[in-house]
Amino acid sequence: MTEGVPQGERGSAAEPAAGGGRTRSSDATRAAILRAARNRFAADGYDRATIRAIAADARIDPSMVMRYYGSKEGLFAAAAEFDLRLPDLSGVPTDRLGEALVSYFFTRWEGDTTLPALLRTASTNPSGAERVRQIFATQLSAAVARMVADPTEAPHRAALIASQLLGVALTRYVLRLPPMVDIPPTTLIPWLAPAVQRYLRDPVPTPTLG
């Protein structure tokens, strides 16, 4: 053993699988725990997901989950690392930006359990809500600032886009409303793209006097 370095913190260390099976590296163990945690948080939400259930899904002893992440909140923070990986759309014609952004979001979301886990947790847990706010306030606002004529308008425009896309994500991936679940992305994109395009490029409306 290397002095001063706990075994669970060394990437080359081997950890026993649950039930006395084959050992696996600590990196593989971490990956299995995070994968199981994302699936559990997406299915059950933060409050109902348990360390024991996550450990069982990862086929590891619950003590190993605590060893790596310390608490359920620490595990959620690690599992909720979500990079939107927004592409560079600088080469896209300005009148096609809405379509490009909506198309990308469907490519990113379909089959990914991290965002549903975040949305389900955000509805009941302050840490989850704050994580969603951080993701969209930083990543989406920065991307929108590069697409709009006036970057100072980016936060408001990004918030409108987030309301549109997160609403779709909530109804499609979390609530699983039958109409939204059944509509293919190729049909949804033409419906949503004009709204996102308007949020990106239309002039800011003049406030209506009461």
Q: Are residues 15 and 102 in the same domain?
A: no
Q: Are residues 99 and 195 in the same domain?
A: yes
Q: How confident is the model at residue 24 (pLDDT cuts 50, 70, 90)?
A: low
Q: Are residues 125 and 182 in the same domain?
A: yes
Per-residue pLDDT averaged across 185-201, rounded? 96
| Structural domain includes residue 2 | no
- What tokens appear for 112 in the block? 């990914």
CB 89 within 8 A of CB 148: no
Q: Are residues 55 and 124 in the same domain?
A: no
Q: How many domains does the chain have?
A: 2
Domain boundary at 47, 79, 111, which? Answer: 79
Residue 197 has pLDDT above 60, yes or no: yes
Per-residue pLDDT averaged across 168-190, rounded? 93
pLDDT at 116: 80
Q: Structure pTM? A: 0.69
Residue 13 has pLDDT above 60, yes or no: no
| Structural domain includes residue 191 | yes
| Structural domain includes residue 88 | no
| Structural domain includes residue 100 | yes
Cα 158 to chain centroid distance, Å, stands at 17
- Among the residue ranges 39-43, 88-92, 184-188, the one predicted with the least confidence is 39-43
pLDDT in tens, 43-90: 888 888 999 999 999 999 999 999 999 988 889 878 877 777 888 888
Look-up of token digits 């886990």: 117
Q: Are residues 121 and 42 in the same domain?
A: no
Domain boundary at 25, 53, 79, which? Answer: 79
Per-residue pLDDT averaged across 6-21, rounded? 46
d(CA 100, CA 204) in angstroms, rounded, equals 21
Q: How confident is the model at residue 18 (pLDDT cuts 50, 70, 90)?
A: low
Domain boundary at 79, 113, 134, which? Answer: 79
Residue 22 has pLDDT above 80, yes or no: no
- Give the domain range for residue 146: 94-201
Q: What is the CATH number of the domain that holds 57?
A: 1.10.10.60
pLDDT at 210: 58
Name residues whose C-beta falls within 8 Å of residue 21's C-beta, 6 or more positions apart in sequence.
59
d(CA 202, CA 210) in angstroms, rounded, equals 23
Q: Are residues 127 and 43 in the same domain?
A: no
Q: Are residues 110 and 194 in the same domain?
A: yes
- Number of neighbours of residue 7 by Cβ within 10 angstroms: 13
| Structural domain includes residue 5 | no
Q: Are residues 49 and 102 in the same domain?
A: no
| Structural domain includes residue 210 | no
Residue 111 has pLDDT above 90, yes or no: no
Residue 209 has pLDDT above 70, yes or no: no
Q: How confident is the model at residue 15 (pLDDT cuts 50, 70, 90)?
A: low
